[in-house]
């Protein structure tokens, strides 16, 4: 027996789940903008030290900001994986014409929520990376301690690389895996059905 097709109530439940995931991803984007504004305001309010150095605090707070932004982006990426598990099931059971057509549409370059949200996180990350350097330039401070600038720069580059590859590329993309697992389950059930005959 092949995978059971979902009944109308199942389809309604699955489509509601998809809508909820899409909404949660939007809320994570909104939360990222809010957290960015709060932490940048916190960084800006920190009084300048008596020395002419930028200091560890601003590097540390900016690193925390990048880590929080990346954590939110990873959570959004996991929600996307959950969305693909559901949509792959609907495709494998041929229960949703929309999901089948949407998969075909995605085979060529296209714009989507994921790319728009990745762009948002990329802009927030670049702004977060520029904050300490902008403060140093505006208040004529040196970038010392230079070890802080180097660590912060490396984390900033890693943030941009991972974000671009996860959002625009295929790093950690679980769609193919979800499709394969549903297909394997479908084949196992088909083989079991043939053996019983």
Walking along the chain (197 residues) 10 residues at a time, the average pLDDT comes out as: 79 92 96 97 76 88 97 96 91 87 82 90 98 91 92 97 93 81 76 57
The burial of 90, by beta-carbon neighbours within 10 Å (0-12 exposed, 13-18 middle, 19 or more buried), is given as buried
pLDDT at 55: 87
pLDDT given for residue 16 in this prediction: 94
> How many angstroms separate the CA atoms of 25 and 179, rounded?
22
What pTM does this model have?
A: 0.86
Q: Domain extents for the chain? A: 8-196
For the chain, the C-alpha Rg in angstroms (whole number) is: 23
Contacts of 83 (CB under 8 A, 6+ apart): 18, 21, 22
pLDDT at 59: 94
Tell me: cis bond preceding 145? Omega within 30 of 0 counts. yes
The pLDDT of residue 22: 93
Would you call 53 exposed, middle or buried from its count of C-beta atoms within 10 A (0-12, 13-18, 19+)?
Answer: middle
pLDDT given at position 50? 57
């Amino acid at each position: 027996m092949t995978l059971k097709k979902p009944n109308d109530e199942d389809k309604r439940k699955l489509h509601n789940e998809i809508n909820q995931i899409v909404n949660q991803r939007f809320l994570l984007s909104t939360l990222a903008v809010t957290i960015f504004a709060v932490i940048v305001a916190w960084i800006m309010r920190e009084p300048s030290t008596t020395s002419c150095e930028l200091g560890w605090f601003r590097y540390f707070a900016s690193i925390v900001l990048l880590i929080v932004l990346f954590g939110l982006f990873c959570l959004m990426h996991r929600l996307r994986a959950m969305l693909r598990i559901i949509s792959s099931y609907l495709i494998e059971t041929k229960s949703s014409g929309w999901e089948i057509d949407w998969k075909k549409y995605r085979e060529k370059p296209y714009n989507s929520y994921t790319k728009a949200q990745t762009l948002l996180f990329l802009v927030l990350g670049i702004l977060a990376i520029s904050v300490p350097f902008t403060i140093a330039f505006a208040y004529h401070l040196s970038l010392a301690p230079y070890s802080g600038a180097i660590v912060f720069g490396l984390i900033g580059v890693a943030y941009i690389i991972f974000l671009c590859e996860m959002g625009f590329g295929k790093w950690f993309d679980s769609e193919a895996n979800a499709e394969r697992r549903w297909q394997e389950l479908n084949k196992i059930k088909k083989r079991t059905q043939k053996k019983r005959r």
